[in-house]
Amino acid sequence: MHTDTHQPDGATPALTWGDLAEHRSFLVRYAQRRLHDPALAEDLVHDVFEAVISGRASFGGRAAPRSFLVAVLRHKLVDLVRERSGHDSLDTRDLDEEHALPCPQPRPDEVAEQRERLARTLARIATLPAGLRDAIQLRVLREHTSEAVCALLGISEQNLFVRVHRARQQLMAC
């Protein structure tokens, strides 16, 4: 019988990055089916991995690792829905005097602002180091599958995950 020398007798070993990476594609697909937003799904799965690695969500070994990770992802999805639900309320205090509902389409000034923000973001992406820029362009902007991007760049899926995360961090820091 193999025992882990880093764990006390009978203790369940913590999940490693390798364990997490093994379930990453499944978790991303699961989140995408519920969110219909690939980038947000990737971010949510990354949040799950951070929670597990940091110890905020601890794997006790009472379930299969995938079941545990899906449960953590479901909690993250619920938190996201709760967070966003406060922003889309049709509270009667928000209605004008004629009781008309606000138009769901963005105003022209909002469209112009979104276009400017997009242009700035694309310009910032162009300034990223080549490895990060290629990963974010292929995976996020062109929406290639992780497998296709890994094959094109000659990297592992875990390395792709790290590159996309680092690119997003650098873009958010600007």
The C-alpha angle 101, 105, 110, rounded to 5 degrees, equals 115
- Rounded Cα distance between 99 and 120, Å, is 38
Question: From the CB of residue 133, how many other CB atoms can be counted at a distance below 10 Å?
Answer: 17
Q: Going along 24-170, which residue ranges are E strands?
A: none
Weakest mean pLDDT among 11-15, 57-61, 79-83, 149-153: 11-15
Find, among 135, 130, 125, the residue nearest to 155 by Cα. 135
Enumerate helices (H) and strands (E) in the chain, giving the number of each: 7, 0
Spell out the domains of the chain, with CATH numbers in brackets: 17-85 (1.10.1740), 119-174 (1.10.10.10)
- Rounded Cα distance between 163 and 42, Å, is 12
* More confident: 47 or 95: 47
Q: What is the pTM of this model?
A: 0.43
- Rounded Cα distance between 174 and 121, Å, is 9
- Give me the pLDDT at residue 16, please: 76
pLDDT digits (tens, 9 = 90+) for 39-88: 898 999 888 888 888 777 767 767 788 888 888 899 888 888 888 776 54
- Rounded Cα distance between 9 and 90, Å, is 56
* More confident: 49 or 155: 155
Both structure tokens of 18 = 């390798």
